[in-house]
Amino acid sequence: MFLSWLALLFSILGAVTAVDICSDYPKPDPCLPGGEWDPVLNSCSGYDGRSCFQCYSGQFCKTREDTLTCQLSSTGGNPLVIAQFWLLNSTQEPCSTTLAHYRPAYQNPPGVPLPPLEDAIRKLHAISQNVDTSGRQLIGGFGATMMLHATVAALSEMILKNCTSNCPPVVDVMAQPPYYDNYPYIVGIVQTARWNTSADPTSPYTIEILTYPNNPNGVRRNPLVKNPNHVIRDMVYYWPMYTDIDTTISEPIMIFSSSKHEGLAGTRFGWGLYQDSVLAQNVAQVVNVLTLGLSVDVQLRVLASIQAIIGEKLNPSGLLPFHEAGRTVMESRFAKLSEVLTCATLTNYPSSSHGAYAWVQCKEGLKCLDVFASVNIIAEDGALFGSTSQYVRLSMLLPDAEFEILIDKVKALCSS
């Protein structure tokens, strides 16, 4: 019986086509500009389950649909523009799969990345000069979202434990509007905290999440909470491609992500830098409860990407080639968008010269979401970010082909 089962198993395995993501990638990509080749699916692919990018169809995604009638979503934060950098510069990114025989046990201590990865992350920050990692413990998790959740959970519990009299049942967590629309949901699943945009920033029982630079509008803001140990700085956009790095930040709590930096959104890796060693240990314990340990495969992929980035020589501008290429693309995109946003309906144009999002204000009395929907652009309502529906957020992270369609649509909107 066992031998017959084994024979069946091998017959099934033998029928599966082997996939080699390194050698099975055609050059040039036959799906550009309307899609990209997926060696796992063995076909063209867009994202989110689509076979092509938005507004493209047909064999090898070569048919561009009508600009005005096709629907284009400029929502979310999927960093597809960074993924395109790797596609166009494939010689810079190491292509490898995790060795089948490499089977490490659960990683200990929990939350602490593999030593080579931690060293690479610290070197990346040192070269970029965006933050000072000295005197801080580095804890990793599955994306910045998990790191924010774990930090809110650990910090709020510590605050309540240190309370001696008139203790509240939970700690308030706030952010200045407009804020990242996922914060209320991240905080909402923490038993020792509650989301409260009306929280008293002078209270010792208030935590502030400060996005720096801000999502959605790219503005750099100072915290309202004066105790720096109660401010969680979400700094996933504090890199040269999204903002000017004119100050090396050195704060007690700082959160980063491989999604917004290396473009590894599907890999799911983020890290936090903590000055308080007790808080760092508590964050690590939360991560460990949620994951039973960091994925070694994930860490090896992040390590390979960061090593490829920091292995390049600095350009005359003082930037790594990866950062300068990203900055050039984002600056070009904001220049194009600002050029076409000329209609009287829109009273405030993106103020940033580069960044992940454009925060657009429409004329008073108009619902900005409907203004963009008139040319089949799906934007994100400003009300989701704690602001009003007079604003929308547009993603600047789309693939090149989709971004060009976005520009054409806005141009049509302003000329109509």
**Across all residues in the chain, what is the average pLDDT?**
89
Q: Which residues contact 148 (CB under 8 A, 6 or more apart)?
A: 183, 186, 209, 232, 234, 255
Greater confidence (374 vs 19) lies with: 374
Q: How high is the pLDDT of residue 292?
A: 86
Measure CA 42 to chain center: 27
Q: May I ask the CATH class of domain 115-310?
A: alpha beta
Distance (Å, whole) CA 394 – CA 379 = 6
Maximal CA-CA distance, the chain: 78
Distance (Å, whole) CA 403 – CA 394 = 11
Q: pLDDT at residue 4 above 60?
A: no
pLDDT digits (tens, 9 = 90+) for 108-134: 677 889 999 999 999 999 999 999 999
Query: How does residue 83 score in pLDDT terms, banded at 50, 70 and 90?
Result: confident
Q: pLDDT at residue 378 above 60?
A: yes
pLDDT digits (tens, 9 = 90+) for 35-67: 988 888 889 998 878 899 999 999 899 999 999
Q: How high is the pLDDT of residue 12?
A: 45
Distance (Å, whole) CA 176 – CA 122 = 29
Q: Does domain 72-84+319-415 have CATH number 3.90.1150.10?
A: yes
Q: How high is the pLDDT of residue 13?
A: 45
Q: Which residues contact 178 (CB under 8 A, 6 or more apart)?
A: 214, 216, 217, 359, 382, 385, 386, 387, 391
Q: pLDDT at residue 10 above 50?
A: no
pLDDT digits (tens, 9 = 90+) for 324-374: 999 999 999 999 998 888 887 776 555 567 899 999 999 888 999 999 999
Share of the chain above pLDDT 90, in %: 70
Cβ count within 10 A of residue 66: 8
Q: pLDDT at residue 260 above 50?
A: yes
Cβ count within 10 A of residue 224: 16
Query: How does residue 103 score in pLDDT terms, banded at 50, 70 and 90?
Result: low
What are the angstrom distances between the C-alpha of 202 and each of 160, 208, 228, 231?
A: 16, 11, 12, 12
217 φ/ψ sector (left φ>0, alpha ψ -120 to 50, else beta): alpha
Q: How high is the pLDDT of residue 90?
A: 56
Share of the chain above pLDDT 70, in %: 87
| Residue 274 identity | Y
Q: How high is the pLDDT of residue 94?
A: 59
Q: pLDDT at residue 1 above 60?
A: no
Whether the pTM exceeds 0.75: the reply is: yes
Cβ count within 10 A of residue 234: 27
Map the chain to HEC letters: CHHHHHHHHHHHHHHCCCCCCCCCCCCCCCCCCCCEEECCCCEEECCCCCCCCCCEECHHHCEECCCCCCCEECCCCCCHHHHHHHHHCCCCCCCCCCCCCCCCCCCCCCCCCCHHHHHHHHHHHHHHCCECCCCCEEEEECHHHHHHHHHHHHHHHHHHHCCCCCCCCCEEEECCCCCCCCHHHHHHCCCCEEECCCCCCCCCCEEEEEECCCCCCCCCCCCCCCCHHHEEEECCCCCCCCCCCCCCECCCEEEEEHHHHHCCCCCCCEEEEECCHHHHHHHHHHHHHHHCCCCHHHHHHHHHHHHHHHCCCCCCCCCCHHHHHHHHHHHHHHHHHHHHCCCCCEEECCCCCCCCEEEEEECCCCCHHHHHHCCCEECEEHHHHCCCCCEEEEECCCCHHHHHHHHHHHHHHHHC
Query: What average pLDDT score do residues 212-223 get?
Result: 95
Contact 245, 318 (CB under 8 A): no
Provide the residue ranges of all domains of the chain, joining segments of one domain with +.
Answer: 16-65, 72-84+319-415, 115-310
Phi then psi dihedrals of residue 127, to 5 deg? -70, -40
